[in-house]
Amino acid sequence: MASTKDEILYDHNHDGIDRRGFLRCMAWAGTGAVCVLNGGVLTSYALGRGGENGVKIPKGELTFVQISDSHMGFDKPANPDVVATFQAAIDKINALQVAPEFLLHTGDVSHLAKPAQFDNVEQILKSARTSEVFYVPGEHDFVGDDGQQFRERFGKGTQGAGWYSFEKKGVHFVGLVNVANLKAGGLGSLGAEQLEWLEKDVKHVKSSTPVVVFAHIPLWTVYPDWGWGTEDSAQALGYLKRFGSVTVLNGHIHQTMQKVEGNVTFHTACSTAFPQPKPGAAPSPGPMKVPAEQLRTLLGVTEVHYKKGQHALAITDSSLG
């Protein structure tokens, strides 16, 4: 594998980003900071509520938004109204300076894979200012029927448990399923058939083409005790080793987390339904109850910009409140 340094080269900005700038950047995400990762160099632009310091967010040639973990149907104290917060996420997307070309939903669309729950999400997404939505399933979407309904609704043209790829504006997108055939005591799993497909799929893609991989469970080991990882992701990442820019977008953990390893940027998005505790900070990864006025600060969406000629993608997390 190429360099496994986790450190990021930094670029001093007048707002005083230092070597921990990346982490500070992530802490600012709730207030709408824009972190632009550009060829391994991080620059940050602190953004006030109305962008009052006048800094222009770099416009990409391709803009899309990642949403995740809507858990339609959840109704426990951590968030008794996931419909309202999902609608708030769509409203937030509709208020973006640049309308996203499409949305990526990284799974747990529903809470229990019930038809009404899927219906609800599709209904609300009709009001999104975008032309299409791409999905990958979460484990909650596989409850009861191993994803059959999910594939019928969202998986046209996909293979196996629902994997697929497509190209947009010179970027190669790959949707993977790591929530099928989960084994007792195991983590997420891609399986031999999907890995074989992936190897063939990227074989003829030029190394200079940016690749975006999206899947529900993180493709790096965030916290194995809580199942936050994928057993056979190393093999998948091996097929992507030669690419100059790989962005991995995941959900499942209901909090933003980011890691850079050589040419690969891993990013997890917030949920639009409920937050979960930081790894090991609670006895279990269940829904985390917070005071009502804090809830929306811990939910969010992720905007991604791609500018042609710049291999790395710019990732911005913003909270709902």
Partner 1 sequence: MQRNTCVSVLRAAAMVVVVLLIAGSAARTSAAENPPGLQVTIDNFSFAPATLTVPAGTEVTWVNHDDIPHTVVSEDKATFKSRALDTDEKFSFTFAKPGTYTYFCSIHPKMMAKVVVQ
| Strand ranges for 81-208 from DSSP E | 102-105, 132-135, 164-168, 171-175
Q: If binding is defined by CB under 8 A, does position 254 make contact with partner 1? A: no
Angle subtended by helix axes 115-125 and 82-94, to nearest 10: 30
Q: If binding is defined by CB under 8 A, does position 291 make contact with partner 1? A: no
Contact map string, positions 62 to 81, toward partner 1, x by CB under 8 A: --------------xxx---
Window 256-285: residues binding partner 1 (CB under 8 A): 283-285
Q: How far is the CB of 291 from partner 1 (least distance, A)?
A: 17
Q: How far is the CB of 111 from partner 1 (least distance, A)?
A: 7
Q: Which of 37/219 has CB closer to partner 1?
A: 219
Q: How far is the CB of 172 from partner 1 (least distance, A)?
A: 31
Q: Which of 94/221 has CB closer to partner 1?
A: 221
Please count the CA atoms within 13 angstroms of the CA of 109 that sit on its side-chain side. 31
**81 φψ region: left (φ > 0), alpha (ψ -120 to 50), beta (else):** beta
Contact 300, 256 (CB under 8 A): yes
Contacts of 288 (CB under 8 A, 6+ apart): 78, 254, 274, 275, 276, 277, 282, 298
Q: Which of 68/130 has CB closer to partner 1?
A: 68
Q: How far is the CB of 146 from partner 1 (least distance, A)?
A: 9
Helix runs in 18-146, H state only? 21-28, 82-94, 115-125
Contact map string, positions 210 to 229, toward partner 1, x by CB under 8 A: ---------------xxx--
Interface with partner 1 by CB under 8 A: which residues? Answer: 76-78, 111-112, 139-140, 143-144, 182-187, 225-227, 283-287
